[in-house]
Chains A and B, each alone.
Chain A
Amino acid sequence: MSTEIEIAGIVRRFGPHTVLNDVNLSVRPGELLALLGPSGSGKTTLLRLIAGLDQPDSGNIQIDRADALGRKPKERGVGFVFQHYALFRHMTVFENIAFSLRIRKAAKPEVKARVEELLKLIQLESLAGRYPAQLSGGQRQRVALARALASQPRVLLLDEPFGALDAVVRRDLRRWLRQLHEEMNITTLFVTHDQEEAFDLADRVVIMNAGKICQEGTPIEIYRTPANAFVHEFLGESNILPAAVRDGVVYADAGFVIGAAAAPDGKVTGYIRPHHVSPLANQNGAWRVLRIAATGSHARISLGLDGLTIEAAMTADALLESGLVSDAPVDVLFSGGTVFDADGTKPVKMFAARGVVAGPVQASLHV
């Protein structure tokens, strides 16, 4: 039986700043949910409110259909893993993990059994007698997790769980945590500002910005159909082109066609991922290759037209086949993207405009 969390109309102000502004969210039983957003978006504050480390100015939080705000942290059945772990520095690994059990005055054999079980789970049995300062970052992280799990919480909250770790450890721990979640099935929320991490790990992702939830959904849903321009930009690099729609064709203001979209005529902004931009070598092409940067398996190509620069991405193999070199004249093909209206909302998918190569178009086509 996993736990669900219902968050309704949460507002939290710090002085003049509204950190959370009417946040509503349902966390489903047993899911692994990511709160993703830039720093200052309110995601950590939301986590702290659920844990009871902070109180909202208004709104409601229910854990398993029971009001949580009226209850003390210890009555909420919540485990919390802090960004910098906050391990008790004067206690050994064993005592850190045993803390909540000792607070609960659990019998000694029970404490020992439970801690040993958790040490085994985090694969640190041999380090039970060490102090936190004697552990590596990844080990501390796992101890923090074991400590939070010791009292068998109904909900697990993790604040930037991998933020302080290097890339390799981060990837390993991510897989390990995913596996752990599948075994234990505890409803888990984690906060991150790293979209790759959120997408890799979570069942569902909630995107926050400026104290509000912008979008929630599975990673694929969000990536394919971002709700607004912020989400599109936050999820990865975008070429952002001021444009206009006329008769279903999207014209960049700089004077070329970037695609077709079923949007009403008018001003829009086109968002195009680099991998949807394909440079094609052409002696008479209007674009120029400005720079090629190979980053291992992929390559990034900067393309210029009359002072405008856009970025393209392709695999290193495709680059080799294409025969593109710096300064070469090229045509550019746009194979997808999204247009948003002037407010950065109302997304409409953009498709390749068939047979159109993005060169300069006649001025008459302008809107």
Chain B
Amino acid sequence: MAVRRVLIAVAIAFMILFLVMPLIIVFSEAMSAGIGTYFNALVDPNVADAIYLTLVIAAVAVPANLVFGIMASWCIAKFDFAGRNVLITLIDLPFSISPVIAGLLEVLLFGLNGLFGGWLSDHNIQIIFALPGMILATTFVTFPFVAREIIPLAQEQGNDEEEAAVTLGAGGLQIFFRVSLPKLRWGLFYGVLLCNARAMGEFGAVSVVSGKIFGQTDTLSLAVESLYESYDIQAAFAVASLLAGLALLTLVLKAGLEWRHRDEIHAVRRKRSS
């Protein structure tokens, strides 16, 4: 009993110190100069641009990873092929590589002196220090979120339901949209939520490939840094509070949907008893 209490106390203390306190500080600092100043900081054109840029990046990276994730899980769960394990390992690569290195690799590939730099500049395509580079970097870093969430699910669920659908007269597309996809939907939902949160909050990789031109290639997380470094502390915290709010919203959304569909989630998640 004593051990249990101590462990719980340690866990709670840790959570307060590392999660709750920073959150409180972010919001209190953001509001320190009053609510008017807080909103003024957010409607600053440069900050508005950063919000827009962040949304654009997420709007491309998340759907891309959704599609990649579904394709990868389909491959891995439905087929047995040479190199399957290599593929599973590769999917985890972005988790094990520092985002800064990921950004750097991109510079080495697409930068002016990079592998494809000459060809790109000949064709007037700018990737590094521009939006395409930031999207690529974000997509790379957030790649595992959807795939990792649904691959084990798809493997566990097997092919039985698809075969049943075949005997019930369904064609390939009907099976995919009526059976394969829906039975993965909660995994997909969690994957997309996590992927989105990370895509909007990514710093390292984007920081390397962005030119950090305030108002042009600054995302929200980069804007926090820019503002902080220019001693605009209150504005930095105001922008940071947006990101923190996004994190909270993600949690609330997840919890709310889980609660609303608790019967179905329970039903879908429970292993087939035999």
Contacts and interface: CB of A to CB of B under 8 A. Distances in A.
A88 B274 contact: no
Given A134-B267, A151-B168, A88 B163 contact: no
B165 A89 contact: no
B169 A88 contact: no
A145 B274 CA distance: 16
B169 A151 contact: yes
Interface stretch (A99-107, A185-193, A243-251): A99-107
Contacts of B274: 84, 164
Contacts of A330: none
B80 interface: no
A53 B163 contact: yes
B246 interface: no
B183 A89 contact: yes
B123 interface: no
Nearest to B183: A90
A46 interface: no
Contacts of B272: 84, 89
Given A73-B169, A88-B179, A82 B164 contact: yes
B167 interface: yes
A287 interface: no
Interface in A82-103: 82, 84, 86-91, 99-100, 103
B177 to A, nearest CB: 11
A313 interface: no
Given A53-B166, A131-B267, A86 B160 contact: yes
Interface in B161-193: 161, 163-171, 174, 178-179, 182-183, 185
Nearest to B267: A131
Q: Give the one of A82, A87, A90, A104 with max B CB within 10 A.
A: A90
A133 interface: yes
Contact of B169 (A74, A86, A90, A137): A74
A134 to B, nearest CB: 6
Interface string B237-274: 00000000000000000000000000110111010111
Nearest to B185: A90
Nearest to A150: B168
A133 B270 contact: yes
A89 B161 contact: yes
A133 B274 CA distance: 11
B161 A147 contact: no
A30 interface: no
A104 B182 CA distance: 19
Contacts of A82: 160, 163-164
Given A90-B183, A100-B168, A164-B274, A133 B268 contact: yes
Interface residues of B, number: 27
Contacts of A79: 167
Contact of A103 (B163, B169, B267, B270): B169
Contacts of A148: 167-168
Contacts of B167: 51-53, 73-74, 78-80, 148
A86 B183 contact: no
Interface in B117-169: 157, 160-161, 163-169
A74 B170 contact: yes
Contacts of B263: 131, 134
A132 B157 CA distance: 14
B174 A103 contact: yes
Contacts of B268: 89-90, 131, 133
Contacts of B169: 73-74, 100, 103-104, 151
Interface in A339-362: none
A90 B264 contact: yes
A103 B183 contact: no
A133 B164 contact: no
Among B161, B165, B167, B274, which residue has the most Cβ atoms of chain A within 10 A?
B167
Interface string A45-80: 000000111000000000000000000011000111
B86 to A, nearest CB: 23
A74 B272 CA distance: 26
B230 to A, nearest CB: 51
Nearest to A136: B273
Contacts of B273: 137
A110 B157 CA distance: 32
A77 B157 CA distance: 27
Contacts of A52: 166-167
A79 B170 CA distance: 13
Contact of B267 (A78, A89, A137): A89
A131 B264 CA distance: 7
B164 A80 contact: yes
Interface string B51-88: 00000000000000000000000000000000000000
A86 B168 contact: no
Given A74-B170, A164-B274, A99 B267 contact: no
Nearest to A134: B267
A90 B268 CA distance: 6
B268 to A, nearest CB: 5
Interface of A: 51-53, 73-74, 78-80, 82, 84, 86-91, 99-100, 103-104, 131-134, 137, 147-148, 150-151, 164
4 closest pairs, A vs B, by CB? A131-B267, A74-B169, A86-B160, A80-B167
Given A89-B268, A164-B274, 18 more contacts: A52-B166, A73-B166, A73-B167, A73-B169, A74-B170, A78-B167, A79-B167, A86-B160, A88-B179, A89-B157, A99-B165, A103-B169, A132-B267, A133-B268, A133-B270, A147-B168, A148-B168, A150-B168
21 contacts: A52-B167, A53-B166, A74-B166, A74-B170, A82-B160, A82-B164, A86-B160, A86-B161, A87-B161, A88-B164, A89-B157, A89-B161, A89-B183, A103-B168, A103-B174, A132-B267, A134-B263, A147-B164, A148-B167, A148-B168, A164-B274
